[in-house]
Amino acid sequence: MSGAPDDSGDLIELSIPVRADLVVLARLTAATVASRAGFGVEDIEDLRLAVEELCLSLVQNNESGRLHLTYLREDDVIQISCAFEREADQHSDGVSTSDDDDLSLRILDALVDEHGRDVRDGQLCAWLRKRRARVRNDG
Amino acid sequence: MNEIFEINETEHGGVPVVAVTGEIDVATAPQLRDRLLAQTAAGKSTIIVDLLGVTFLDSTALGVMVGGLKRCRESGGDLRLLIVEPRILKVFEITGLTDVFSISASLDDTNGATR
């Protein structure tokens, strides 16, 4: 993991092998980044689940390769990108087509402001953006 | 990595209760699936899954429970859930699964009352 706060926000990078027991690292990092950015408990929990779904949407049909996650905070927005790097002899495109994937999309739709998938440098990438909820001041 | 994940099995009025503690995610959901499959293989058509001790669940966990529900209903039974934690209930709500599962807040409510 690397990264340092600067004037443009915080950039954190995390690279993990595609292993079921390591996806927890992606959500732990999301929770830490969101907490540092002043997100509330509810938003942190939303982001924890959302980043899990982001990873699952790429790895469900794969048991090898790596996930490269980037956590970028800019003002009150956190953007998380997850790129799937195949191994040289791996043919799967990383896109899952199961019922679980439909559930993943519904969860992402509900929990984040924007999400999507694209191909960057030949790697399938899923991303999300979540804006920090404004604190209500009823007094 | 997921130290507190645990599954315990008991019975309530002759119905098996599969109680889960901790986080159900892509790493731990297969253990729950195996327990549900074992119950079905043992001839149990109705199962109660106790999620009162669950602190996190993802779409993999939902998929396991939907699979369990299908198997139970094919056998003429049902898969019922115990949930009180709003955070966990929210995941079922946003995926539309509160309309699919019988969800109760306690074992005593599982015979009739559902959300």
- B85 and chain A in contact, CB less than 8 A: no
Q: Is residue B1 part of a domain?
A: no
B52 has pLDDT over 60: yes
Element (H, E) at B63: helix B59-74
- A99 and chain B in contact, CB less than 8 A: yes
pLDDT at residue A62, as a whole number: 75
pLDDT at residue B12, as a whole number: 95
The predicted-structure confidence for A57-115, as pLDDT tens digits, reads as follows 888 667 789 999 999 999 899 999 999 987 766 555 444 445 667 899 999 999 999 99
The predicted-structure confidence for B24-46, as pLDDT tens digits, reads as follows 999 999 999 999 999 999 999 99
B-chain CB neighbours of A56 within 8 Å are 26, 58-60
The interface predicted TM-score (ipTM) is 0.89
- Closest to B25 (Cβ–Cβ): which among A52, A104, A111? A52
Q: Is residue B37 part of a domain?
A: yes
Q: Is B115 exposed, middle or buried (0-12, 13-18, 19+ CB in 10 A)?
A: middle
| Tokens representing residue B31 in the block | 């253990």
CB A66 within 8 A of CB A51: no
Q: Is residue B92 part of a domain?
A: yes
Q: What is the Cα–Cα distance from B28 to B26, expressed in whole angstroms?
A: 6
Q: What's the domain count of chain B?
A: 1
Distance (Å) from the C-alpha of residue A7 to the closest C-alpha of chain B? 34
- Domain range for B18 is 6-107
In chain B, DSSP assigns E strands to 6-12, 15-24, 47-57, 79-82, 102-104
- B4 and chain A in contact, CB less than 8 A: no
Domain map (residue ranges) of chain A? 10-131
B57 has pLDDT over 70: yes
Local confidence band at A121 (pLDDT 50, 70, 90 cut-offs): confident
pLDDT at residue B2, as a whole number: 53
A129 has pLDDT over 70: yes
pLDDT at residue B86, as a whole number: 96
Q: Is A51 exposed, middle or buried (0-12, 13-18, 19+ CB in 10 A)?
A: buried
A-chain CB neighbours of B63 within 8 Å are 98-100, 103
Q: Which CATH number fits domain A10-131: 2.40.37.10, 2.60.40.420, 3.30.565.10, 3.40.50.300?
A: 3.30.565.10
